[in-house]
Amino acid sequence: MTDTIHPWQTTEKQTIYETSIFSLEEHKRSEDSTGKQGTFYVVDAPSWINVIAITRDGKFVLCRTISSWVG
């Protein structure tokens, strides 16, 4: 059996949150050949890298930071 990945088409797009460095968009998408539909959340941002630390027992390592922003 061969699995084929079909492209999803964006049918609706809305910016739901915007900052000076990124925006969060909600995309409604559908896949024509199967009729599947879904809501997807997309972060639109400049190129950067995110690192998520996960322990051996599958827990996420989170750090609380406090930053003072000016502007």
For 16-25, the pLDDT digits (tens) are 999 998 999 9
Tokens of 54: 């996960």
For 23-69, the pLDDT digits (tens) are 999 999 999 888 899 999 999 988 877 788 999 999 999 887 776 66
Output the pLDDT for position 8: 92
The CA-CA-CA angle for residues 25, 26, 29, to 5°, reads: 125
**pTM score, whole prediction:** 0.57
67 falls within a domain: no
Output the pLDDT for position 58: 94
Is residue 15 scored above 90 in pLDDT?
A: yes
Given pLDDT bands bounded at 50, 70 and 90, which one contains residue 71?
low
Output the pLDDT for position 51: 83
41 falls within a domain: yes
38 falls within a domain: yes
As for how many domains the chain has, the answer is 1
Domain that holds residue 42: 9-61
